[in-house]
Amino acid sequence: MPEFEIQHITRYIYDSPARDSANQIILFPIKDEYQDVLKQEITVTGHPIIDKHIDYYGNEVGSFTYSEPHSILIINSKVLVSTRHRPYPVNDIFPSQQWEDLKPLQRMVPYIDFLRQEYFEGFEDLKMLVEELKGKDETPYQVALRFCEYVYKNFNYIKGVTTVETTLDEIWKLKAGVCQDFAHILTEMLRMIKIPARYVSGYICTDKNGMRGEGATHAWAEAFIPDYGWLGIDPTNNIIANENHVRLAVGRNFMDCSPVKGVYKGSSGHKLEVSVTVDDDSPLTREENLADSAAYTVTTPAANQVSKNSYQRHMEMIQQQQQQQ
């Protein structure tokens, strides 16, 4: 039963004092039979009160406001998570029966959002491919793994070519991107054949194996398999997500699961530094040095460029942050 200490630091540095910073954080790992949160500490500059609630998809969400003028804002999450191995689906039911079992889900509220497809210019081409890949007499589980393998083999993992606002059509044309793009394509493919699929954000905790997505937040998909439940599938690495994947949130897409987002009043000159470190040996009380972690710095446009409101600037930084995956 592995344990992972994960430190996730988000640091905003402003050229001049900012104020009225209102933020939403989804940095609280999911708690269920396969994942326990043993301890968590979240500290924020100014020590504002963090109000928590559970959103529509069952994610724990925090929100806070820091009103005082400040030149730096740091959100530091340190969490100790224990995970358990999840058994894999067993194909002991006739495939035709499993596909029949999926049909009623199209009219059930918990699954409707995860079956809704996004139309885009390449929709018909992707749907034709999906029908070709879906083998006869195969179970939903087998088909989901086939789709995962297709994305892994046919899309190039390239940082910086996409943002969180990149459309499915652009991803389909580029055949490239990072983990969030791979997850978006896979969820769309699964939904096309009426398998409920949802987007997952979290961390991949295998820092000795050189897996794609280490040192940053990670993303993958979950497919609903009859008589099993939600199965995590990581198309970025072509593996089933299991005890080395720590889940933060689930939703329809990235926007439902963004770890940090918010607005503030202040100048346009600022930068964002994000650091994620994973340790499977040391206690949670150990202090991590930001200089020794995998830090990513994003610098905003110079002051003489076109001015944008704080929400636009924030979203641009989040987009660039996700390119580091």
Give the model's pLDDT for residue 66. Answer: 94
SS3 of 109-133: the string is: HHHHCCCCCCCCCCHHHHHHHHHHH
CATH number, position 24 = 2.60.40.2250
- Is 110 found in the same domain as 76? no
- Give me the helix-helix angle, 123-133 and 140-154, nearest 10°: 120
**Mean pLDDT by groups of 10 residues along the chain of 325 residues:** 92 92 96 96 96 97 96 96 93 89 96 93 92 90 96 92 85 91 96 97 77 77 96 96 95 94 84 85 38 32 37 47 45
Residue 90 falls inside a structural domain: no
Clarify whether residues 146 and 200 are in a common domain: yes
The total number of structural domains that make up the chain: 2
My answer on whether 139 and 220 are in the same domain is yes
Q: What is the pLDDT of residue 121?
A: 87
Q: Are 194 and 279 within one domain? A: no
* Same domain, residue pair 261 and 315: yes
How far apart, in whole angstroms, are the C-alpha atoms of residue 35 and residue 239? Answer: 19
Q: Which residues pair with 199 in a beta bridge?
A: 221, 251
Q: Tell me, what's the pLDDT at 194?
A: 97
What H or E segment, with its residue span, contains residue 314?
helix 310-322
| Contacts for 202 with CB less than 8 Å, ≥ 6 apart | 29, 217, 218, 219, 220, 245, 246, 247, 248, 249
Question: Domain limits at 293?
Answer: 3-83+257-322
Q: Are residues 21 and 64 in the same domain?
A: yes
Residue 217 is predicted with a pLDDT of 85
Helix, strand, coil % (nearest 5) of the chain? 25, 35, 40
